[in-house]
Amino acid sequence: MVLAVSSLAVAFDEPLVLLTLAAITLATAALFGAGVIGALTRMRRLLGVFAAMGVIQSVFTRGGQALVEIGGITLLSTTGLERGASIILRILIIVVSASIMSTSNPRDIVQGLSQWKIPYELSFMVAVAIRFLPLLREEAEDTLVALQLRGVRLEQMRLGRKLSMYRRLLTPLIAGVLSRAENMSISVEMRGFRAFRCRTSHRHLKFGARDYTLVFATALSVVAVLFWRL
């Protein structure tokens, strides 16, 4: 469902289609108890960026009716507003879809992918990536705090200098990821990972009524959107 909706969000850029997809994603996220409010709060911090995107789209895109014009230069147009709204909706769909994925236990994701005949090495990598994303965010936040506590006043810096400070977050993040990957590879091999060609599992996932309903609803939504817009 997540794959279908986020693919449609990338394929179509009309605000009305994206609004419909956003509504479907939000409803599904609420149904699965995903942290929709948290995801939306995080989006709120990016509102300034989206507003800037709207202005940039208006200035550099021809067409539409000028809404704000200074000295013959269009600062805001109906096309720019539409494109800005499309970007916001697209990011909203992707963020909320990702929050739906986070409601699944990483163990279930590995199991689900394995039952789809995907090699378990690959399934395991996907599960590890999902498991470590929050940790990466936490590490980046800590490093940013440490950077500021050395006397870096980000609020007083020009954009270029600020970006060069943010660039510093990459070194510890990459070093941390590499070190963790090395430690984890030793740890999983010590526990017999890939010791045998086939892997058995005590756990077995089964499709329930809710899963069939969701697959049916997703297929119906995709077909409806395709018929509507193509």
Partner 1 sequence: MIVAFDVDYRYPDGTDAVSGASVRISPGEILAILGHNGSGKTTLGKLLSGILKPTSGRVEIDGTDTRRMSLGRIGERVGYLFQDPGRQLFTSSVEEEVRFALDIQGIAEDRIRHRTEHMLDTFNLLDLRKSFPFDLSRGEKQRLALAAVMINEPDFLILDEPTTGLDVRRKSELSRLLIRTGDTGVGMMIISHDEEFARGHAHTVMEMDRGVLRRA
Which 145-164 positions form the footprint of partner 1 (CB under 8 A)? 145-156
Binding status of residue 172 toward partner 1 by CB under 8 A? yes
CB of 160 to partner 1, least distance (A): 14
Q: Of the candidates 145, 131, 146, which has an alpha carbon nearest to the alpha carbon of residue 177?
A: 131
Options 61-69, 79-87, 121-129, 167-175: segment touching partner 1 (CB under 8 A): 167-175
Binding status of residue 45 toward partner 1 by CB under 8 A? no
Binding status of residue 40 toward partner 1 by CB under 8 A? no
CB of 125 to partner 1, least distance (A): 23
In DSSP notation, 179-221 reads HHHHHHHHHHHHTTTTSSSS---S------HHHHHHHHHHHHH
Q: Of the candidates 150, 147, 111, 148, which has an alpha carbon nearest to the alpha carbon of residue 127?
A: 111
Tokens of 209: 């009524």
In DSSP notation, 3-39 reads HHHHHHHHH---HHHHHHHHHHHHHHHHHTT--HHHH
CB of 183 to partner 1, least distance (A): 13
Binding status of residue 23 toward partner 1 by CB under 8 A? no
Options 24-32, 54-62, 105-113, 143-151: segment touching partner 1 (CB under 8 A): 143-151
Say if residues 77 and 39 touch (Cβ distance below 8 Å).
Answer: no
CB of 137 to partner 1, least distance (A): 13
Closer residue to partner 1 in complex, CB, 171/213: 171
Q: How far is CA 3 from the centre of its chain?
A: 11
Residues at the site binding partner 1, with contacts judged by CB under 8 A: 139, 142-143, 145-156, 168-169, 171-172, 175-176, 179
